Structure 1
Amino acid sequence: MKFFLQCLQLLPLLVIFTLESLLKRFIPKKRKSVTGEIVLITGAGHGIGRLTAYEFAKRKSKLVLWDINKHGIEDTAAECQRLGAKAHAFVVDCSNREDIYSSAKKVKEEIGDVSILVNNAGVVYTSDLFATQDPQIEKTFEVNVLAHFWTSKAFLPAMMKNNHGHIVTVASAAGHTGVPFLLAYCSSKFAAVGFHKALTEELAALERTGVKTTCLCPNFVNTGFIKNPSTALGPTLEPEEVVDRLMNGILTEEKMIFIPSSISFLTVVEK
């Protein structure tokens, strides 16, 4: 009986999502230009961050690339330059608030005001609650959500002043449903989703409608961080398909991106 009632609750969502998909198919939303925008991407030395940087480079944005890995971030910057974009590489530890603030100051002084911020840096530790060390739990939250506060506090004021900008939160499907042996990671991603939702509402309340927000919530992505990742929400995703969907969402100013899209209604059902 409970399952039947849950299915009934899902029916309106299924109808809405079906209609939305049909509308998008036949009436595609206009894409905005990001040419000349100063785009800062954290965790840009590999994976989703690196591929996202390449996509912005192809669109002639000016790239500011942050990562803790010097070799990785320099490789990303070199490829962005080969693609015809200006790219600036910074070695930044996103678990360190003061490092974020000091690096942000250099960016503003040397390059200019960031107008698109992609909070992508993340860490994950796969173990049960008791096997996860305290410093690992702290670092998970420092990188996966607290860094979003510090980067936003650094770069959002200029966006609000100009009423123009975009804050992108790279979260996860794990920010909507729990996964065993990823307690710290899931908790941090729940917080990241909450950060996005609350920030979106706050910007609306402050009438800064020109500052857009987007939150990416994919199923596990094959970036090498988790060996043989799997959930009941669908297959493991390749980074290229995730970044393609992310870029489309940014350019059409989509608020919440689920990959696969079925997650958007599967996460409504709770056991």
Structure 2
Amino acid sequence: MLLKLYSISILLLDILLLHIKILLAIVEAFYKKIIPPAEKSVSGEIVLITGTGHGIGKELALQFAMLGSTVVCWDINEDNNKKTVDELVHLGYKAHAYNCDVSSREQVFKIAREVKEKVGDVTVVVNNAGIMPCHPFMAHNSQEIQRIFDINVMAHFWMLEAFLPSMINKNHGHFVALSSMAGLMGIANLVPYCASKYAVRGLMEAMAEELREGNHQLDVKFTTICPFIVDTGLCKKPRTRYLNFRHLISC
């Protein structure tokens, strides 16, 4: 009887705490809506971005450079990546180009060592590189599915292995991962891609929780971004309903 009363008391207490946390979250959301928190300064940071040869990665490189960061650009397409860095340098920004296939753990570690020696310790990593084959699931072959996961998922593991230790040692760093709206909902003709983007979300959430539990004072952050449709060239002639309300962004 006493055990049953104790269990009920614990349950009621948990429910009360849940309602308090929900109320606090609502109050915090309203407060931040009225008084937005100051944006994080990235001036002076060494920011490594993957997939900078075109699209979102290239635009991110420009935006970080404009905010005062030293930008380290990685891409498998050496010519396009060099063009990105040449544009940034021409504008007077600090930028460095490296050719790297992020699906290869060996290459990631090799280029990471070069960056450390020539540029310094990377303090922000933006995992942006990805591929998006678009056709029905039965039209995919095993090699293509494996390639999607090697680039869209496993590369995130290799980047964490290569750069997280120095961030932990310095108690300073930030990992940013590009997931997708396809990592929040299933989309026809993008089954492997959706699965890979869900995996990215899971990886980032679990990684943040593991470090939070291990050391509450650790100043290493994790951010997952889920963009809507962006016309980057990965998908030919992207379309969306209600264009008047949700305009496509090109980059």
Instruction: Please tell me the TM-score bracket, short chain as reference.
Output: 0.7 to 0.9
- The amino acid of 2:70's aligned partner reads K
SS for the counterpart of 2:96 is strand
Mapping of 1:17-166 within 5 angstroms?
A: 20=29, 22-166=30-174
Q: Is contact 2:168-2:218 (8 Å) kept?
A: no
Query: How far did 1:232 drift?
Result: 7.3
SS for the counterpart of 1:130 is helix
CA distance in 1, matches of 2:183, 2:169: 31
2:231 counterpart residue number: 222
**Residue 238 (structure 1) aligned with residue 249 (structure 2):** yes
Q: TM-score when scaled to structure 2?
A: 0.83
What are the superposed Cα offsets for residues 7-37 of structure 1, whole Å, 9 maximum, x if unpaired? Answer: xxxxxx9xx77972x5334202112221111
Query: How far did 1:213 drift?
Result: 1.0
Q: CA, structure 1 residues 229+212, in 2 after alignment: closer, same or farther (shift >3 Å)? A: same
What are the superposed Cα offsets for residues 49-84 of structure 1, whole Å, 9 maximum, x if unpaired? Answer: 100000111112111100011111111111222333
Mapping of 1:244-255 within 5 angstroms?
A: none
Q: 1:180 aligns with which of 181, 188, 192?
A: 188
Q: Is contact 1:35-1:61 (8 Å) kept?
A: yes
Q: CA, structure 1 residues 161+19, in 2 after alignment: closer, same or farther (shift >3 Å)? A: closer
Q: Is contact 2:69-2:94 (8 Å) kept?
A: yes
Query: How far did 1:127 drift?
Result: 1.3
Mapping of 1:254-269 within 5 angstroms?
A: none
Q: Is contact 1:221-1:236 (8 Å) kept?
A: no
Query: How far did 1:168 drift?
Result: 0.1
Q: TM-score when scaled to structure 1?
A: 0.77
Give the percent of matched residue pairs that are identical in Structure 1 and Structure 2.
Answer: 44
SS for the counterpart of 2:138 is coil
CA distance in 2, matches of 1:51, 1:119: 14
Q: What number of residue pairs does the alignment pair up?
A: 226
Q: Which region of structure 1 is more displaced relative to structure 2, 203-212 or 49-58?
A: 203-212
CA distance in 2, matches of 1:239, 1:168: 21
Structure 2 unaligned regions, length at least 5 = 1-21
Q: Which region of structure 1 is more displaced relative to structure 2, 41-50 or 100-109?
A: 100-109
CA distance in 2, matches of 1:193, 1:17: 24
CA distance in 2, matches of 1:61, 1:44: 15
SS for the counterpart of 1:79 is helix
